[in-house]
Amino acid sequence: MCFVIVTSRSLLWSLLSIAVTLGHLIALAQPYWLIGKPRNKYDGDHINPDVSEERWSPSIGIFSSCRQLTRVSQESLGLPDSILCTTYTRSFGDIANGYWKASVVFYAFGFLILSFVFCVAFISLCKRSICHKSIFTVSGFLQAVAGLFIIIALCIYPIGWGSDAVQDVCGEDAAPFQVGDCGVGWAYFTAMGSTVLLFVCSVLSVQADISTSQDEIQDEINKGKSLICLCW
């Protein structure tokens, strides 16, 4: 018989685990890891104070970038806007530089683990153990391991700021750990914030395990209840 056990701490862990996974997914998919200074459309120059419209900011992520189309390209593609945000890579080998490739590898390992925990977060509502171990503590350990992989990825990423692809967006002054004319974009901060929350989830998993192992839970099961909700 399946018992659905929900406590405030286990529910918080499940929801936060799902949010963290989605946060990393959003960060990876966005081209806003580095954002350049505003420029005037079509001429590629930095912003002209005499021109108050037709401005844009180039940006680049690990897999994608926002670039300006020429008027000819814009007309041929039938696009209403001259700024196109799309992937610049067709394969792993097209990633901007070797450091970013290494970053992707570590990030991929971490994200695969998170994807597994994402599924476990749903299973935890009606199953408390996996391989005779608490499903929460196993998941918390995996979240900590995933966090370490992602931290390594985020630390390696700035070393690749001196590549040609970054200099096209951030200027020739861009170098390892120096963004040149760019600023660090919100996608990178999203990845950092999601990683911090990932370790919060890892700690919270212990509390989730404690809350679902109380004597009150067993008492409710003995009474024949299949849906058990506790507010602690």
Fold of the domain spanning 4-32+97-221:
Butyryl-CoA Dehydrogenase, subunit A; domain 3 (1.20.140)
Mean pLDDT of 30-36: 90
Return the percentage of the chain with pLDDT > 90, whole number: 34
- Residue 230 reports pLDDT greater than 60: no
Q: Which two tokens stand for residue 106?
A: 């570590």
- Look at residue 148 in the predicted model and tell me its pLDDT: 96
Q: Are 156 and 103 in contact (CB under 8 A)?
A: yes
Q: Are 125 and 6 in contact (CB under 8 A)?
A: yes
Mean pLDDT of 154-173: 90
Q: What is the pTM of this model?
A: 0.81
* Rg for the chain, CA atoms, rounded: 23
For all residues of the chain together, what is the average pLDDT? 79
C-alpha 189/C-alpha 184 separation (Å) is: 8
Query: Distance between terminal CA atoms of the chain?
Result: 24
**Signed CA dihedral, 48, 54, 57, 62: sign only:** negative
C-alpha 153/C-alpha 79 separation (Å) is: 35
Higher pLDDT among residues 148 and 223, named by residue: 148
pLDDT tens digits, 43-102: 544 444 554 455 678 888 888 888 765 444 444 555 555 566 777 777 888 887 889 999
Q: How confident is the model at residue 229 (pLDDT cuts 50, 70, 90)?
A: low
* Polymer length in residues for the chain: 232
pLDDT tens digits, 104-155: 999 999 999 999 988 887 776 666 666 667 888 888 999 999 999 999 999 9
Question: Which residue, among 211, 231, 213, 215, has the nearest Cα to 223 in the 3D structure?
Answer: 215
